[in-house]
Amino acid sequence: MHPAYSVIFFTTASGAGYGLLALLAVFGAAGVLAPHTGFGVVAIGCAMALIGAGLAASTFHLGRPERALNAFSQWRSSWLAREGVAAVVAFAPALVFAAGWICLNDVSGVFAWAAAATAFMTLATVYCTGMIYASLRPIRQWHNALTMPTYVTLGLMTGALLLAPLSAAFGLYRPTFAILALVLVVAGWLMKRAYWRHIDATPSASSLGTATGLSAFGAVRMLEAPHTEENFIMREMGFQVARKHARKLRLLATLCLFVAPFVLMALILALGAAAALPFGVLAVVLAAVGVATERWLFFAEATHLSMIYYGRAV
């Protein structure tokens, strides 16, 4: 699939924003992170900004953005519509939670319930985003059991990486934050590694033979191409990245998204709170490069079944 930069930004920015907001809600309601007006404004504001920017960017790849609201009506059958509904619903408890934290420095009682609802709805939104791709049967690289949990894990992981330096900037850092980030980095790496192995080792069940119903008679090949030059479908649905480039980009994503943040979070644990801000910021910057690379590959390595019509293996 041709990587759309607006979708890459949407999935990475909103994933990190929802991950950060979910962790703030959980830690706030659990009493691990004391309510603090300045920190609440910056941290919750950062999460909301990432979510808002991501959702705004998601409309840029639509052919008719002015009709985006019509998608909400299809929530019974469309994961895209469910994602939109979940995203809107999540704002209600998030605003209550934010009001209690920022204005009253209180996350007990009704604000604790709002925090729990915020965490649930933010994770539900990221779940729906992952299911948009995991539910697409024509794209074998996406239609597997690893796509959705990898999306959710990377969202929480990038949110946890943001939490460490943000909390350190206001003197609220806890070793728990770095430990959680380490656990999520390892989980994210294991899932992404398994995903790459899966799409490399699992051949497509479809071919020209199965598409035409002639596979029983032997190998089926095209007599001639349906077009003399590439068309829109071939460019968008059959975008290809060279194997050697894919290997290099996977290595870059692994180093920036998993290896570097793991080392930096481990150093924060070893050196203490003083290292949380500088090393945490560096981890966030490197992870941003890594997750953008990972998401670009997620689209670039996916091939639609329609490419069989053009004689290309999928």
Distance CA 143, CA 133 (A): 7
* Residue-level pLDDT at 241: 79
Q: What is the CATH number of the domain that holds 116?
A: 1.20.1630.10
Residues 143-172, mean pLDDT to the nearest whole number: 95
Rg of the chain (C-alpha set): 22
* Residue-level pLDDT at 233: 75
**Structural domain count of the chain:** 1
Residues 132-158, mean pLDDT to the nearest whole number: 94
Each residue of 202-241: pLDDT tens digit? 877 776 776 666 666 667 777 666 776 777 777 777 777 7
Residue 67 has pLDDT above 70, yes or no: no
**The two structure tokens encoding residue 67:** 């009709």
In the chain, what percentage of residues exceed pLDDT 90?
62
Each residue of 75-94: pLDDT tens digit? 888 898 899 899 999 999 99
Higher pLDDT, residue 5 or 67: 5
Neighbours of 143 (CB within 10 A): 14
Residue 129 has pLDDT above 80, yes or no: yes
Distance CA 100, CA 6 (A): 33
Q: Assign residue 227 a region: left if phi > 0, alpha if psi is -120 to 50, beta otherwise?
A: beta
Q: How confident is the model at residue 310 (pLDDT cuts 50, 70, 90)?
A: confident
Each residue of 247-292: pLDDT tens digit? 999 999 999 999 999 999 999 999 999 999 999 999 999 999 999 9
Residue 63 has pLDDT above 70, yes or no: no
The contacts of residue 259 (CB under 8 Å, 6+ apart) are none
* Residue-level pLDDT at 307: 76
Residues 15-32, mean pLDDT to the nearest whole number: 92
* DSSP H or E run through 16: helix 5-30
Neighbours of 214 (CB within 10 A): 12
- Range(s) of the domain holding residue 169: 5-310
